[in-house]
Amino acid sequence: MRSEGNSAAADSIPRLRLAQLTAKIGAGFRQYPRAGGVLVPRALADLAPTLRDAREISASEDERLALGRAVVVEVAKVMRRLPAAVLAVPLPSPSHVVERTSIEHRTRNVVERLIPFEAGRAWTVARYLQVPGFGARCLTDVLAAHEESAQPPDGAPPTAAAEALGSPSVPLFNVARRLRAVLPLTGTELRALYPDETFARATDPLRALARACAAAGVAAPFRLVRRGGSTIAVAPGSAGLARAACEEAARQVAAWGVADVADVASRVECLSESAVGETIVRRVLVALPRLRWLDPRMRFFSFVNERSPLGKTVERLFAEREVVPLDQLLTTLAEGSAAARRTPGPVLARYLAEIAGCVVVEGEVRRGTG
């Protein structure tokens, strides 16, 4: 129950109209102010008397949520005249904020876009405020989360929130550090890295790990992309590129049967209007479980169980015969398709064995028994 002093202080902070709430909220999960977290960051407390009052309030969680909305309104009022001391407050880089603090999803979406451009001068309040979409709520959220991560609860060790996944042997911060170096990866690969941990025994280990991180207040070091019935973990900030690469790879394979990483990278670069290297695309595609590389350089690829014009052509060739000379089969494919003429013979031969289910032995191609 609130004391009269708390009630008076809370009532002195203006309530938000519905339109203001709609414009300023939309966070939900990890919503500021977090349970037991900072209501008014120290850097903002002296900007207005109502903010100083709110910082001293000890209220229920429901009351704190209402107070948090009101605090954002107060901060918004003074955004255009923040003192130099506040503008100069140092903050972590965007990747640190995204990976190591419990910020709202909306704030994360804004900050995550900065990760590719975070190098250079130090990050301060002033630099963050130059980012489109980084307004009063994002500022309050980031400052509060930064203060929370710097000051763990009394009596708790700094990594207490990071320790338990149901398997106390693995601190979450160590998991995050290791995974950042191997992304992208699949759930099967995660199981191989941590076979004895609780999340590895889940049906979807990637989502189980993401939930465990969220419950512990630790930022997951990846974003999940689901394509073709499979979930892939990719680095923060690259989810859009990963989706585009997966979609373009699937489109190109479906258009003929075999695709080239260089063609996928070129198309994604055109669509995204930003530089996209083949290495980045290859690291995304290699995590797709249905993908099969058709050459040692990992340039050409296809997908298992993909219905494509190339697959249908091979089926027709074997409709009435059991064996076809490899040279004859490759010539027939080249006569009927410009894509086949651009694809090296060894790649097509690998396609026949890996994707079409044929048996290639001593210059002959036999129809598979399955």
Q: Give the range with max mean pLDDT: 103-107, 131-135, 346-350.
A: 346-350
Q: Which two tokens stand for residue 41?
A: 């960051």
User: Could you check whether the bond before residue 346 is cis, i.e. omega within 30 degrees of 0?
Assistant: no
Contact status, residue 74 vs residue 51, Cβ threshold 8 Å: yes
pLDDT at 57: 63
Strand order in the sheet with 291-293: 259-260, 300-303, 291-293
Average pLDDT over residues 116-143: 86
Q: List CB contacts of 245: < 8 A, sequence separation 6 or more.
A: 264, 265, 268, 276, 280, 281, 284, 285
Mean pLDDT lowest among 149-153, 246-250, 365-369: 149-153
- pTM summary value: 0.51
Report residue 105's pLDDT band, with 50, 70 and 90 as the boundaries: confident
| pLDDT tens figures, 163-205 | 333 443 467 777 887 888 888 888 888 888 888 888 888 888 9
Average pLDDT over residues 103-126: 81
| Residues paired with 292 in a beta bridge | 302
User: H-helix or E-strand containing 137?
Assistant: helix 136-150
